[in-house]
């Protein structure tokens, strides 16, 4: 997102610099000024060439000291890559709005793994009723900064998805009209459980950007061929399997159907002249429309337990907080 038309004082720029230094603004593409911008586009285009940290080569800044961080040396190339990366985020928001008949004024959205919330802020600027982001990093200050600049009211709550217990450890994400999840299931050793969690909370639809593999099989492939900077080999099994987890398209579509989403549209942004075409060839976008009220076994069990316990009891209150 180009923030230059919205930033109106040096204090907002200074706050952005502080957020970059804190690693709370670096991944999603934002232009703060003619000489300062962030985004992972160049790394994606170059396949993380010459990068030793996830915080390298995702900042272009003139005259600002960012310590040992490797800054992008070429503004034109950096901006070109991020513009192509930004196109995909723009495609997400415009497609969601189109799928909802171009009216999102009464639609609530939530995104797990939101990072700095670019999808949500795009939707908020388009007139969404409400937007909420969830991420394991505490990005409250970043969301507040963007809300101040853009005049929006996008909410943020910190939460950690637990691959062992298949739930958020700090809260339960409430239902919204549309759930969003982009480039996240491939980092989960429990992709189907996570998919169930998202779909259970989507009343109308779900936008999903997922690493899938073709073929007429019901399979999950744990390729685990990730960049070293994205892998934590010190984690115990199965948490050490945290990247390049592929769901077959057949299994993915059947899972959505079983979760109540009988209408699924496969989406393809125009990437013909985009350096990130290889990316969208593997990570495929889908919009799934809910066609029945069925929920997963996780949802059914949690709600059955709640309904069996008197609502006024201390145990009911404890279970409600836990779930």
Residue 73 has pLDDT above 60, yes or no: yes
Sorting pLDDT into bands at 50, 70 and 90, what band is 306? low
Q: 277: cis peptide before it, omega within 30°?
A: no
pLDDT for the residue numbered 315: 46
202-226 pLDDT tens trace: 999 999 999 998 878 999 988 756 5
Q: Is the peptide bond before 222 cis (omega within 30 degrees of 0)?
A: no
SS3 176: strand
**CA atoms of 227 and 201, how far apart (whole Å):** 32
Strand, coil or helix: 47:
coil
Determine whether 133 is exposed, middle or buried from the number of CB atoms within 10 Å of its CB (0-12, 13-18, 19+).
Answer: buried
Lowest model confidence (mean pLDDT) among 22-36, 247-261, 267-281: 267-281
Find the mean pLDDT for residues 56-73. Answer: 94
So what's the pLDDT on residue 307?
A: 57
Give strand pairing partners of 131. Answer: 109
Highest mean pLDDT among 54-58, 201-205, 230-234, 297-301 belongs to: 201-205
Q: What is the pLDDT of residue 229?
A: 57
Q: What is the pLDDT of residues 137-186, one digit of tens each?
A: 999 999 999 999 999 999 999 998 888 888 888 888 999 999 999 988 88
Confidence category of residue 127, pLDDT binned at 50, 70, 90 = very high
C-alpha pair distances (Å), 55 with each of 6, 15, 31, 47, 174: 26, 18, 17, 14, 32
The model's confidence at residue 240, banded by pLDDT at 50, 70 and 90, is confident
Q: Pairing state of beta strands 245-248 and 202-213?
A: parallel
DSSP state at residue 186: G
- Residue 171 has a pLDDT of 84
- Poorest-pLDDT segment among 83-87, 127-131, 237-241, 258-262: 237-241
The per-residue pLDDT for 221 is 87
**Which pLDDT does position 321 carry in this prediction?**
58
End-to-end CA distance of the chain: 35
3 state DSSP class of 288: strand
CA 200 centroid distance within chain: 17
Strand partners, 134: 112, 157
- Report the SS3 class of residue 4: coil
> What pTM value is reported for the model?
0.90
The confidence score (pLDDT) of residue 231 equals 59
Give yes or no for a contact between 16 and 25, defined as CB atoms under 8 angstroms apart.
yes
pLDDT given for residue 160 in this prediction: 87
Mean pLDDT across the stretch 100-126?
97
Percent of the chain with pLDDT over 70: 91
Give me the chain's average pLDDT, please.
90
């Amino acid at each position: 997102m180009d923030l230059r038309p919205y930033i109106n004082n040096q204090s907002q720029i200074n706050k952005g610099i502080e957020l970059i230094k804190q690693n709370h603004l670096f991944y999603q593409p934002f232009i703060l000024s003619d000489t300062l911008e962030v985004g992972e586009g160049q790394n994606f285009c170059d396949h993380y060439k010459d990068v030793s940290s996830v915080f390298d080569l995702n900042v272009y800044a003139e005259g600002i000291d960012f310590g040992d961080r490797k800054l992008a040396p070429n503004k034109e190339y950096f901006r070109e890559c991020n513009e192509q990366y930004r196109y995909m985020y723009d495609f997400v928001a415009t497609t969601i709005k189109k799928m909802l008949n171009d009216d999102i004024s009464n639609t609530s959205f939530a995104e797990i793994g939101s990072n700095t919330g670019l999808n949500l802020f795009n939707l908020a600027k388009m007139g969404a009723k409400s937007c909420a982001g969830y991420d394991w990093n505490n990005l409250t200050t970043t969301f507040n900064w963007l809300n101040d600049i853009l005049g929006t009211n996008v909410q943020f709550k910190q939460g950690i998805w637990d691959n062992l217990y298949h739930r958020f450890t700090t809260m339960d994400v409430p239902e919204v009209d549309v759930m969003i999840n982009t480039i996240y299931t491939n980092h989960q050793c429990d992709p189907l459980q996570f998919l169930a969690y998202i779909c259970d909370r989507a009343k109308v639809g779900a936008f999903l950007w997922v690493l899938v593999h073709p073929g007429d099989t019901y399979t999950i492939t744990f390729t685990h061929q990730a960049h070293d900077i994205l892998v934590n080999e010190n984690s115990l099994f199965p948490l050490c399997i945290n990247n390049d987890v592929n769901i077959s398209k057949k299994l993915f579509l059947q899972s959505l159907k079983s979760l109540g989403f009988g209408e699924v549209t496969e989406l393809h942004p125009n990437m013909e002249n985009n350096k990130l075409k290889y990316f969208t060839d593997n990570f495929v976008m889908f919009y799934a429309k809910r066609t029945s009220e069925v929920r997963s076994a996780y949802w059914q069990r949690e709600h059955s337990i709640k309904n069996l316990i008197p609502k006024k009891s201390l145990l009911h209150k404890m279970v409600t907080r836990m779930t």
